[in-house]
């Protein structure tokens, strides 16, 4: 949901609403030096931080530290709490989220002493924002919920509504769409209260109403409730100032375009999607452009215009790859900068140590100037030997430290490259899957369409493995439970001809990719075969899948209550069954097939490498 981050920025930086010109900022610096340390001095510092931190986060941190130092000298407890909040905001903009959260927590301790409910709620919200940027949506949701407890104790309807939107978006990130929708609707109801309208500027009020309506339409779109999504998007589009916020307007058009495509209102959909693409390109919003390209590909595919669908799909994949490469390059640049900075600090420390040692030697020489010549010579020899040994040891330690840093840097670069490879493989497999899907739509023979659909399912099962690998830190092993859950949902979604009672029990086990690829393809064939052939004239179809880790082996069981293997014997010699047999032998496993109230496939796989989660 693209508008979550924009909502957060309003919450995270409520002080930073009005940017100043460069000349005005220079004037603020001059005024600051002339004014004594009083309440006006703190206000000027606060305004300066608000206006410089976006372009120069380091300067923002420096000014916030000055604010903190003055507050401590004056022993102003409320200013001390505000200083820690400012430092948290500045470090957030600087992308140092751990340091940001540390300052927020210090600020909360002081605000708790002051019993300042509003600021405690705001800071809990900001911590939630920091965790969201890092992709930790569970922690982010937890802190937003804490913030809501404090905002509910105030009379500020606007903040109560905004925190509900943040909570709703976190539920959306976790695919809990019903909870996401409910919280967005609560936020809308609060914002539509008469007192909320009376307290807000008209343009600002309509802009926020538009964002909430857009978010609700987006959630409904994900829930495939097309008509309701259209109602909310059309309501947002009917607002008088709908184009004031161009980014929001582009997202709104993108959502409406998707809904109109699904409801086969192709003329409206095409106009909305192309307009949204034009706005996002003019704003240089690359993530928005990526969503536009994907929606346009789906739109033209629905209209049977395969060439245009493929053109937009390829452009979307190329843009996605470009963004991913730039993110990796930026991360590598950050690691190199950090490495160089640490190296300089070590060099400064070494020079300081040498300087201190030289000072000690000079002091000793001055103190022992009148000692005997023999004592002086002995002392010089001893000091020289110690210096030689110290320098030798120091050089060895320095060389070892530099080698370790180079090795660590090389490992990080190789890990980034390996993730890039898995990402590209996943993207290529997705393109293959999309091409198979496009070709399938142009076929009329049921057997040919089924073959293409089966091939597409196999490709998706392998793409899912590479997606898991590049999204996690461990590039050699994958958690079986999460993979089988995603795979089974994907297959059932593709073959949803009737309601299936699907039960799955999988142990928490991590398996290497060489084992998981054939195992995943076996599960893919078993589930697809069951869904295609097993439930003829079955009133309440069900499938049960279990994966257990035992002492010397793993046991995979797939059971259904269908018509039984004997009634589909022709399919037992199909290409899918041959694949199951080939991959079972590749895993050096034993396959058992039984028929009793349905069909049961049981695979006993020798354990080669397994790590319990």
Whose CA is closest to 252, among 225, 281, 224, 212?
212
pLDDT, position 15: 39
- pLDDT bucket at 475, cuts 50 / 70 / 90: low
In contact, 554 and 509? CB cutoff 8 Å: yes
pLDDT greater than 70 at residue 461: no
How far apart are alpha carbons 27 and 385 in whole angstroms? 60
Task: Please name the residue ranges forming H helices in 442-479.
Answer: 446-471
The DSSP result for 51-74, as a single string, is HHTTT-HHHHHHHHHHHHHHHHHH
pLDDT digits (tens, 9 = 90+) for 370-387: 666 777 777 788 888 888
pLDDT, position 499: 80
How far apart are alpha carbons 371 and 126 in whole angstroms? 67
pLDDT, position 567: 46
Give the whole-number percent of the chain exceeding pLDDT 70: 74
How far apart are alpha carbons 487 and 501 in whole angstroms? 16
Most confident of 169-183, 248-262, 323-337, 595-609: 169-183
Question: For residue 408, which phi and psi values (nearest 5 degrees)?
Answer: -65, -45
Residue 610 DSSP label: -
Mean of pLDDT over the chain: 79
pLDDT digits (tens, 9 = 90+) for 199-221: 555 556 677 788 888 889 889 98
Instruction: Show the CA angle centred on residue 419, arms to residues 415 and 424, nearest 5°.
Output: 145
pLDDT, position 354: 72
pLDDT greater than 70 at residue 195: no
Whose CA is closest to 13, among 120, 101, 129?
129
Pick from 141-150, 331-340, 467-476, 593-602: least confident: 467-476
pLDDT greater than 90 at residue 89: yes
Query: Average pLDDT, stretch 305-311?
Result: 89
pLDDT, position 355: 66
- pLDDT bucket at 25, cuts 50 / 70 / 90: confident
The DSSP result for 71-128, as a single string, is HHHHT-HHHHHHHHHHHHHHHHHTT-HHHHHHHHHHHHHHHHHHT-HHHHHHHHHHHH
pLDDT digits (tens, 9 = 90+) for 126-146: 999 999 988 899 999 999 999
Query: Average pLDDT, stretch 324-348?
Result: 68
pTM of the model: 0.51
- pLDDT bucket at 178, cuts 50 / 70 / 90: very high
* Secondary structure (3-state) at 549: strand
Give the whole-number percent of the chain exceeding pLDDT 90: 20
pLDDT, position 2: 38
pLDDT greater than 70 at residue 612: no
* Secondary structure (3-state) at 387: helix
In contact, 174 and 194? CB cutoff 8 Å: no
How far apart are alpha carbons 409 and 288 in whole angstroms? 33
pLDDT, position 200: 52
pLDDT greater than 70 at residue 51: yes
Which tokens in the block code for residue 339? 């490495």
pLDDT, position 251: 85
State in Å, rounded, how far the first CA of the chain is from the last one.
31
pLDDT, position 337: 66
Higher pLDDT, 512 or 564: 512
Task: For strands 501-506 and 542-549, give the pairing.
Answer: parallel
Torsion angle, alpha carbons of 123, 125, 129, 131, to 10:
80
pLDDT digits (tens, 9 = 90+) for 497-524: 668 888 999 998 888 888 888 888 888 8
Whose CA is closest to 275, among 296, 300, 250?
250
How far apart are alpha carbons 534 and 235 in whole angstroms? 46
Pick from 94-98, 393-397, 449-453: least confident: 449-453
Whose CA is closest to 332, among 403, 398, 411?
411
Most confident of 143-147, 231-235, 605-609: 143-147
pLDDT greater than 60 at residue 14: no
In contact, 473 and 419? CB cutoff 8 Å: no
Pick from 296-300, 336-340, 598-602: least confident: 336-340
pLDDT, position 16: 41
Question: For residue 556, which phi and psi values (nearest 5 degrees)?
Answer: -105, 130
How far apart are alpha carbons 470 and 356 in whole angstroms? 49
Higher pLDDT, 334 or 503: 503
pLDDT, position 109: 93
pLDDT greater than 90 at residue 260: no
Q: In what order do the strands lie in the sheet with 611-612?
A: 477-479, 509-512, 611-612
The DSSP result for 267-303, as a single string, is HHHHHHHHHHHHHHHHHT-HHHHHHHHHHHHHHHHHT
Higher pLDDT, 4 or 106: 106
How far apart are alpha carbons 191 and 160 in whole angstroms? 9
Whose CA is closest to 61, among 40, 32, 84, 80?
84
The DSSP result for 299-354, as a single string, is HHHHTT-HHHHHHHHHHHHHHHHHHHHHHHHHHHHHHHHHHHHHHHHHHHHHHHHH
Whose CA is closest to 575, among 442, 450, 467?
450
């Amino acid at each position: 949901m693209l508008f979550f981050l924009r909502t957060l920025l309003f919450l995270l930086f409520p002080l930073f609403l009005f940017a100043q010109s460069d000349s005005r900022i220079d004037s603020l610096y001059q005024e600051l030096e002339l004014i004594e340390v009083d309440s006006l001095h703190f206000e000027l510092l606060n305004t300066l931080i608000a206006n410089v931190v976006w372009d120069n986060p380091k300067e923002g941190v420096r000014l916030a530290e000055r604010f903190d130092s003055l507050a401590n000298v004056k022993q102003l407890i409320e200013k001390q709490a505000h200083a820690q909040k400012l430092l948290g905001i500045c470090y957030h903009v600087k992308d140092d989220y751990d340091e940001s959260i540390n300052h927020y927590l210090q600020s909360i301790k002081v605000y708790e002493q002051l019993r300042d409910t509003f600021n405690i709620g705001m800071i809990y919200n900001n911590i939630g924002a920091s965790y969201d940027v890092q992709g930790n949506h569970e922690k982010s949701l937890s802190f937003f919920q804490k913030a809501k407890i404090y905002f509910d104790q105030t009379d500020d309807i606007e903040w109560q509504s905004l925190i509900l939107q943040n909570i709703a978006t976190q539920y959306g990130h976790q695919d809990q769409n019903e909870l996401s929708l409910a919280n967005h609707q609560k936020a809308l109801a609060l914002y539509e209260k008469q007192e909320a309208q009376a307290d807000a500027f008209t343009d600002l009020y309509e802009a926020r109403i538009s964002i909430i309506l857009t978010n609700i339409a987006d959630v409904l779109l994900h829930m495939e409730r097309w008509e309701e999504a259209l109602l909310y998007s059309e309501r947002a589009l009917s607002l008088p100032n709908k184009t004031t916020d161009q980014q929001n307007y582009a997202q709104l058009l993108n959502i409406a375009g998707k809904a109109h495509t699904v409801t086969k209102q192709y003329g409206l959909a095409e106009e909305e999607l192309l307009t949204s693409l034009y706005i996002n390109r003019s704003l240089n919003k690359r993530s928005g452009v990526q969503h536009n390209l994907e929606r346009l590909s789906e739109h033209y595919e629905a209209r049977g215009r395969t060439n245009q669908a493929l053109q937009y799909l390829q452009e979307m994949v190329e843009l996605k790859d470009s963004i991913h490469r730039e993110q990796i390059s930026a991360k590598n640049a950050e690691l190199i900068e950090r490495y160089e900075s640490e190296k300089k600090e070590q060099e400064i420390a070494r020079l300081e140590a040498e300087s201190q040692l030289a000072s000690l030697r000079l002091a000793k020489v001055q103190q022992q100037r009148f000692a005997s010549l023999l004592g002086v010579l002995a002392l010089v020899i001893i000091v020289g030997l110690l210096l030689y040994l110290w320098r030798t040891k120091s050089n060895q330690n320095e060389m070892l430290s530099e080698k370790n840093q180079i090795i660590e840097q090389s490992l990080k670069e190789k890990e980034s490259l390996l993730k890039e490879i898995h990402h590209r493989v996943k993207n290529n497999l997705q393109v293959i899957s999309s091409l198979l899907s496009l070709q399938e739509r142009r076929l009329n023979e049921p057997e040919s369409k089924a073959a293409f659909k089966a091939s597409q399912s196999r490709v998706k099962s392998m793409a899912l493995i590479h997606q898991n690998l590049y999204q996690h830190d461990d590039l050699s092993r994958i958690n079986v439970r999460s993979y089988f859950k995603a795979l089974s949902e994907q297959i059932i979604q593709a073959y949803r001809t009737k309601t299936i009672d699907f039960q799955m029990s999988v142990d928490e086990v991590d398996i290497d990719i060489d084992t998981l690829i054939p195992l995943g393809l076996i599960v893919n064939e078993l589930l697809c075969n069951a869904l295609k052939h097993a439930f003829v004239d079955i009133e309440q179809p069900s499938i049960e899948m279990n994966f257990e880790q035992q002492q010397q082996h793993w046991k995979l069981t797939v059971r259904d209550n269908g018509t039984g293997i004997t009634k589909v014997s022709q399919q037992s010699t199909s290409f899918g069954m041959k694949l199951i047999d080939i991959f079972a032998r590749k895993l050096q496993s034993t396959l058992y097939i039984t028929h009793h109230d349905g069909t049961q496939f049981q695979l006993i796989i020798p354990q080669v490498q397994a790590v319990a989660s």
